[in-house]
Structures are given as structure tokens and as C-alpha cells.
Amino acid sequence: MKEYIKRLKKGTLKMHALESELPAEEAVSVRRAYIEEETGQKFNKAGKYSIEVERAALKNCENMIGAIQIPLGVAGKLKVNGEYARDEYYIPLATTEGALVASINRGCKAITKAGGADVRIQRDGMTRAPVFAAKNVIHAADTIRWIEENKGTLKSIAEQTTSHGKMTDITCFLTGTNVYVRIEFFTGDAMGMNMVTIASEKIAEKIAADTGVVLVALSGNMCTDKKPAAINLIMGRGKTVSAGVFLTDDMIRDIFKTDAKTLMEVNNRKNLVGSARAGALGFNAHAANVIAAMFLACGQDPAHVVEGSNTITTVDQMEGGVYVAVTLPSLQVGTVGGGTGLETQRECLELLGCAGGGEPSGANSRKLAEIIASAVLAGELSLIGALGAGHLARAHKQLGR
């Protein structure tokens, strides 16, 4: 180890090259020891972990020195009445926020007692949007016309790059001399960002070659990836999924200690009017809380919590109670690839019965999306109920620590 640390100090060996000379486990240990010597900071806890280093260091994290551990809790059981998820589930939640799991658990109790969450996926498509520079507005418009007339050719080119992905749509936008081409793909059980990027590159090359526009960037930010954007709220990205449940007046009183009128008023004044006044893109109580905790537990890309926070929560008064629903326009999830292969995250996916590829392709990722949407509904119910009953501060005082 000392020899490798000396080489790192001299600069004759780069940190990222350690895995090319050593087994992954040793490379991580050497790198950690080097950082400890350089900074004086010990990583006694971060250096102890149970995940398989070979995969993590070579596929998930460059310059790995250890692992950060986040407490993992469960809520539920939560009954889900979806097209892909039809069972009662314990919900895995990785979080450091006291009171969160307890809150979601209360929502799960209410939903399950009510007979389960109704869940449906409206659309399923991952996007990438290259941006091209045209000579002038006429050239830009002609390029868009060419794209629309040649969608079949572009679809064929894209699908030669993958055995799993299918191009489902292309939508073009013109802004001055800028041509944005938003390409949408069905990506099976993968979240699919790498898949669509590779396919979009081939499409972009064909467009540039046949129209004369110049490809400026493979992503022109109209995808829109990992940034708040109205286009995702309106057109969707990943899974667009809704979950709802009818709660009787008795259930609202017994479980949430409030009433239907109060639930509606809290949702209207907080989630709808308050969010609109703030210029928010999401109209919900705390959907990102639930999505983030499930993403961390299940190996999803945590940056996609941004798109998931576009959730809209609605409360409709009906005879004898209320129907509460959440709509997630841009929930991006997968059950293969990325962090889903890490052992701890895979165990959480196995808990939900959706690890790996599904049959037919896409069934497992859609199942996961339905479960996450139902858990978001549970979280919204609980927080709206707590606000309505005036219990929020008390709960955080008791459980937030």
C-alpha cells in the first residue's frame, strides 16, 4: 500500500487509475488511506460497508473511498390497486428526517383501511432533446419539416442502437435559429437515460447530415433532465402516474383527527393557491420527501427527485367523504441498471417484488412507479391531515429529535 501512496503523492499514479492495477477492494483501501494522509481526516466508519465493491467502484462511483450509510425504515403495509402492483407492500424509506417514516406509515394505514390506492400510469417515455443551430428561421423551419416527414427513418436508426428501447415520438420546437428536437423512448425496465442518449446521438447525426443544421449539444435542456421545468409538468417525462383513494368522514375523523372540509381547505389554500402564488411547479405538500426516501432505498438517481416534485395533489369532496389523489407527471424510475444493482438497494426492490427485468418488458419499472405514487399519496394524506388538525409541530417535536 505504501508504494502506491508514494506514487499518488508524486503524481506518477492517478487516483482513478488504481483499479487498473489493483483489485477494486484494494484500490478503494489505498485511495482512502491516501486521502486520510493528505487531509488528516479518518474514515473509520465510511470505510466499513457491506456492498460489493467490484460493482460499486467500477460502475457506480469513480474514486470510491467508502460508503455513506443512511438509516432505512419501513412504512405499511400499503395496499395498492394498480395494473402492475396489486398487493400490500412494506415501503422501504431511506432517510435522516425524523417523523417522516411515521407520517407515511399513518397515510399507509388510512389507504389500506380504505381498500387501497387506485393507481394508473397514463404515459411512459424517457426523453432527450438535442439542440441544433440553423442558418436562419427559414432553414430552421425546413429542418423541422424534414424531421416530421422522416420520423420513420429516424425511429429505425434509433432502434438499431438498443434491443430494449423503442422511439415513440419526436416533438420539435423553434426559437430563432435554434431547433430543439425532443425525442421520446419507451425504455423497458431501465430508467433509460443512457439508452436514449446513445440513440439520440445517432438521430442527431442523421438530422445534421441531411438538413445542414449544426448539432450544438446532445442535450438542449428541453428534455428536461434534473431541472425544474414546466415542459415535464405538461408533457411528462418517465412515468406519468396518478394514485387516489376515497376516505369516509369517519376515517378522516378517526385517523387524522379532522374533517373533510378542513382537508379540502388546507389542500386548496396551501397546495394549490399557495404554490401558484409562489410560482412553484409542484402543487403538493411534500411529495419530494417520499420520492427521495424511496429513490435512495431503491437505487434510483436521486437528482430525478426534481422532476418527481412536480406532483399535483387534489382533494374532491364527495358524499360521505373526500377523494384525495396525487398526479406525478414526471416520475423517472427503473429496476435494472444504475444503482439498482447495488446489493442493499436490490434488497429493497426485492421487498417490493420488482427487482430486475419484468415480463413483459417494462412491467417491473411500472410496478415500482405505481408503488411510489401510492406512497406519495400516503405522505400527502398524512401531512395534510396533520396540518388540518394542527399536529405538525407536535409530531416533529416528538419524533424529529
What SS3 state is found at 67? Answer: coil
Nearest to 208 by CA among 127, 134, 129, 128: 134
Catalytic residues: 97, 301, 396
Separation of alpha carbons 265 and 16, rounded Å: 55
Separation of alpha carbons 313 and 202, rounded Å: 39
> What is the secondary structure of 163-200 as a DSSP string?
SS-EEEEEEEEEETTEEEEEEEEE-TTB--HHHHHHHH
Separation of alpha carbons 359 and 172, rounded Å: 33
Please give the angle made by the CA atoms of 42, 47 and 48, to the nearest 5 degrees.
135
Nearest to 202 by CA among 132, 155, 239: 155
In the structure grid, which three cell numbers stand for residue 161, read together? 442502437
Separation of alpha carbons 40 and 33, rounded Å: 10
> What is the secondary structure of 346-371 as a DSSP string?
HHHHHHHT--S--SSTTHHHHHHHHH
Alpha-carbon distances, residue 282 vs 161, 233, 249, 312 (angstroms): 35, 8, 27, 6
